[in-house]
Homo-oligomer: A and B are copies of this chain.
């Protein structure tokens, strides 16, 4: 944006890409994906929409950049020295928790697979699989499976979060779904009905990790 040689600060309340993105994150976290409108953002920053569009291409760029920021933070926080298997679990859990805190990130992760956010996850998971000794031929499929699983849970969690009033307790939501499951036609959905009670008091964080372990076990089996 700035041309060449003037990083002398302008007015202290000056707009900037960073301030705009920070404000967007705040609005998203407070009110969910639907709350982020250009007008709301402009009001929050006490400016007009034109000023925003001078710093940012469009709303999608806003969401994408915000997502990249958050995911990059999560991935980089994983200790470099950790054993590969633990590192993979840590990255996966980090993504899980990040989406728990910012559900809109989950929805965003699905767009544009060449954006830093997804790339970061692939790189982090893939390099650890390599370190684990997964043979070259199986690496691509293995990394793909793990990342798709992580993104699948991410998307589902984000969707769930979108359905409840922000701030609702998770157990209330689970109990609600479990209730609907339990009320299903036993002839058509015997399995789902049977899972209803487990759904009610399961720990989705633990279940998510169990899935990661399952896939890691499958990868280990394949190379044996």
Contacts and interface: CB of A to CB of B under 8 A. Distances in A.
Interface of A: 110-114, 119, 122-123, 126-127, 130, 139-145, 147-156, 158-160, 162-163, 177, 180-181, 184, 188-192, 195, 198-199, 202, 207, 210-211, 213-222
* Number of copies of this chain that the complex holds: 2
A113 B145 contact: no
A206 to B, nearest CB: 9
Given A114-B181, A191-B126, A219-B214, A145 B149 contact: yes
20 contacts: A110-B158, A113-B156, A113-B159, A119-B184, A119-B189, A123-B190, A123-B192, A127-B191, A140-B195, A140-B198, A141-B210, A141-B211, A143-B191, A145-B215, A152-B154, A155-B155, A213-B218, A214-B219, A217-B218, A218-B221
Contact of A163 (B112, B139, B152): B112
Given A144-B207, A216-B218, A221-B217, A126 B192 contact: yes
Contact of A110 (B142, B155, B202): B155
A148 to B, nearest CB: 4
Given A110-B158, A123-B191, A215-B218, 10 more contacts: A111-B162, A113-B159, A113-B160, A141-B210, A145-B149, A145-B211, A148-B156, A149-B149, A152-B153, A218-B218
A110 B188 CA distance: 22
B215 A214 contact: yes
A189 B142 CA distance: 17
A144 B215 contact: no
Nearest to A218: B218
Contacts of A154: 152
Nearest to A106: B110
A126 B154 CA distance: 21
A103 to B, nearest CB: 12
Nearest to A178: B114
Contacts of A151: 152, 155-156
Contacts of A219: 214, 218
Given A113-B159, A126-B192, A191-B126, A148 B142 contact: no
